[in-house]
């Protein structure tokens, strides 16, 4: 992997703090490199540079074509690095290479999409006023802190960065210390593009590095993807300074199988929702809700599919599921399963684990517990099963958790539509499960504890901008 370097005010510098943990190959546990962090001095330097770049408008004042050309340069640089970005994400997160290769292609697409949107809506609007036209402008808010997670690090980071830079904001990226490899490659692609110093910067580190960025008065907006605890800390800090925060957090997402569902399609959807990103994705299956009349048939088909699942080294193109991201997260997931077992749950593990020494966990179904005991997200290949006898009961169970990110409904289409529209969640997919959005241009909303504000090509771009209205209110004299 590339040596970890910070990028501050146009210069590559070594992070000047050592963190207590090691960065490991998720498949084998082999140590790849020490985890490194940024000191308060380096964070201060990055913030100073970003604020200076914002104040003199060295990026935003450029003409539109120049900014578009720079965004295309970044996209081209990401295209050439797609394979190594995919390999870094796969090795460090445990996500199978066949999926990280697809995510790596999203990196360049994010910058081209943001550029296309900028071209479409660049320029002020004019509104009628009492004494002539009013000028309505959408302007960059200022320094943008982008805090990316470890589960899909490259795609999420590029989506946020592309939006911030297209909006005209200087952006500081803080990747997860558990998966910094692709961020290093992304930073290299951006550093090669024609951007002024201070407009993009990279700071490695753990939560305290992100915390220093969030609380600083020079940071004008924070876009964060991660867990609930981290999101709550960001929200508290932003509230103190009344600064906008975009939070995409977790979701203990329900998948409903109605009595008139296609059982084969539902079984396939369950396996996909349970094992994509090894269960480590915000829209993964958390609560499996099945009509009692189809329960046994469905479980048999799900079990058969999971038993045949190829669990192996994430860098092997034939693997269908890999390990979890690090040893601590594996411990967390296994302890959650043990706690359910201690409550009297029936634990069903599926598939054979490879003898590689990494952080592997079998896909697991948990049943036999009261629904009130399964409200929290685990963030792994684990789902809690509950049966229901009516649509009303199914909807009550689906809406029972404090989250509201995603839901899935399998059933006869008109019936599934009726049920889906009663679920309190940001996105509901009918008769299918996919990691991709229902439409590339559609928003990705979050309700409840799942987040704050919508994400999406236009939504994230606009998050980094504020409105300014100017006009004549009276006549002189």
Nearest to 152 by CA among 76, 71, 90: 90
- Annotated catalytic residue 282: yes
Catalytic residue among 24, 107, 158, 160: 160
Report d(CA 1, CA 252) in Å as an integer: 34
Where are the chain's structural domains? Answer: 6-249+450-470, 253-430
- Annotated catalytic residue 57: no
Report, as an integer, the average pLDDT of 77-82. 98
pLDDT score of 477 more than 80: no
pLDDT score of 193 more than 90: yes
Confidence of residue 122 (pLDDT cuts 50, 70, 90): confident
Report, as an integer, the average pLDDT of 301-324. 97
Query: Given this model, what pLDDT does residue 321 score?
Result: 98
SS (H, E, C) the chain: CCCCCEEECCEEECCCEEEEEEEECCCCCCEEEEEEECCHHHHHHHHHHHHHHHHCCCCCCCCHHHHHHHHHHHHHHHHHCHHHHHHHHHHHHCCCHHHHHHHHHHHHHHHHHHHHHHHHHCCCEEECCCCCCEEEEEEECCEEEEECCCCCHHHHHHHHHHHHHHHCCCEEEECCCCCCHHHHHHHHHHHHCCCCCCCEEECCCCHHHHHHHHHCCCEEEEEEECCHHHHHHHHHHHHHHCCCEEEECCCCEEEEECCCCCHHHHHHHHHHHHHHHHHCCCCCEEEEEEEHHHHHHHHHHHHHHHHCCCECCCCCCCCCECCCCCHHHHHHHHHHHHHHHHCCCEEEECCCCCCCCCCCCCCEEEECCCHHHCCCCCCCCEEEEEEECCHHHHHHHHCCCCEECEEEEECCHHHHHHHHCCCCCCEEEECCCCCCCCCCCCCECCEECCEECCECHHHHHHHCEEEEEECCCCCCC
- Annotated catalytic residue 455: yes
Q: Residues of the chain with pLDDT > 70: what percent? A: 100
Mean pLDDT of the chain: 96
Write the pLDDT tens digit of every residue in 378-429.
999 999 999 999 999 999 999 999 999 999 999 999 999 999 999 999 999 9
Catalytic residue among 5, 282, 377, 462: 282
Query: Given this model, what pLDDT does residue 475 score?
Result: 85
Confidence of residue 439 (pLDDT cuts 50, 70, 90): confident
CATH code, residues 6-249+450-470: 3.40.605.10
Same fold? 6-249+450-470, 253-430: no
C-alpha distance from residue 372 to each of 367, 386, 399, 401, 450 (Å): 13, 11, 12, 9, 19
pTM to 2 decimals?
0.95
- CATH architecture type of domain 253-430: 3-Layer(aba) Sandwich (3.40)
Report d(CA 219, CA 241) in Å as an integer: 10
Write the pLDDT tens digit of every residue in 197-237.
999 999 999 999 999 999 999 999 999 999 999 999 999 99
Catalytic residue among 177, 377, 455, 462: 455
Report, as an integer, the average pLDDT of 9-31. 96
Report, as an integer, the average pLDDT of 366-377. 97
Catalytic residue among 248, 377, 429, 462: 248
Query: Given this model, what pLDDT does residue 1 score?
Result: 67
Report d(CA 214, CA 324) in Å as an integer: 28
pLDDT score of 270 more than 90: yes
Report, as an integer, the average pLDDT of 178-188. 97
Q: Are 90 and 100 in contact (CB under 8 A)?
A: yes
Report d(CA 444, CA 248) in Å as an integer: 9
Those residues with Cβ within 8 angstroms of residue 81's Cβ, 6 or more apart along the chain or in another chain? 185, 186, 188, 189
- Annotated catalytic residue 55: no
The two tokens of residue 51 are 């604020």
Strands 17-24 and 245-248: unpaired
Query: Given this model, what pLDDT does residue 269 score?
Result: 98
């Amino acid at each position: 992997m590339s040596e970890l370097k910070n990028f501050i005010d146009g210069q590559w510098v070594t992070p000047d703090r050592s963190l207590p943990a090691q960065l490991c190959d998720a498949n084998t546990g082999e140590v790849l490199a020490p985890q490194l962090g940024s000191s308060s001095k380096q964070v201060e330097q990055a913030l100073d540079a970003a604020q200076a770049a914002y104040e003199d408008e060295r990026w935003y004042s450029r003409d539109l074509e120049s900014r578009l050309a720079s965004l295309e340069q970044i996209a081209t640089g990401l295209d050439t690095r797609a394979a190594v970005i995919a390999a870094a994400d796969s090795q460090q997160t445990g996500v199978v290479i066949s999926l990280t290769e697809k995510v790596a292609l999203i990196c360049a697409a994010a910058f081209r999409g943001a550029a296309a949107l900028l071209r479409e809506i660049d320029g002020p609007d004019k509104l009628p006023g009492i004494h002539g036209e009013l000028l309505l402008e959408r302007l960059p808010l200022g320094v943008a802190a982008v805090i990316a997670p470890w589960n899909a690090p490259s795609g999420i980071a590029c989506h946020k960065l592309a939006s911030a830079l297209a909006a005209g904001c200087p952006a500081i990226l803080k990747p997860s210390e558990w998966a910094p490899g692709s961020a290093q490659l992304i930073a290299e692609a951006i550093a090669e593009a024609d951007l002024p110093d201070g407009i993009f910067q990279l700071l490695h580190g753990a939560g305290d590095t992100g915390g220093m960025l969030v609380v600083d008065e020079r940071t004008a907006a924070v876009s964060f993807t991660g867990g609930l605890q981290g999101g709550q800390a960001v929200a508290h800090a932003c509230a103190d300074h009344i600064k906008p925060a975009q939070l995409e957090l977790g979701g203990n997402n329900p998948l409903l199988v109605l009595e008139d569902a296609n059982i084969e399609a539902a079984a396939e959807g369950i396996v996909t929702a349970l094992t994509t990103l090894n269960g480590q994705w915000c829209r993964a299956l958390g609560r499996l809700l099945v009509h009692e009349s189809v329960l046994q048939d469905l479980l048999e088909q799900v079990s058969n599919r999971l038993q045949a699942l190829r669990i192996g080294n994430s860098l092997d193109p034939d693997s269908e599921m890999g390990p979890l991201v690090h040893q601590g997260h594996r411990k967390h997931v296994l302890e959650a399963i043990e706690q359910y077992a201690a409550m009297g749950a029936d634990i069903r593990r599926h598939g054979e684990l490879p003898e590689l020494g990494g952080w592997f966990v079998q896909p697991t179904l948990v049943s036999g517990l009261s629904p009130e005991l399964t409200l929290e997200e685990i963030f792994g290949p684990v789902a809690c099963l509950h049966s229901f006898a009516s649509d009303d009961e199914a909807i009550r169970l689906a809406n029972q958790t404090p989250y509201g990110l995603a839901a899935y409904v399998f059933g006869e289409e008109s019936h599934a539509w009726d049920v889906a529209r009663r679920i309190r969640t940001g996105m509901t997919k009918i008769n299918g499960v996919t990691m991709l959005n229902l439409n590339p241009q559609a928003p990705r909303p979050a309700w409840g504890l799942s987040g704050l504000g919508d994400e999406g090509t236009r939504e994230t771009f606009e998050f980094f901008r504020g409105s300014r209205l100017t006009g004549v209110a009276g006549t002189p004299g």
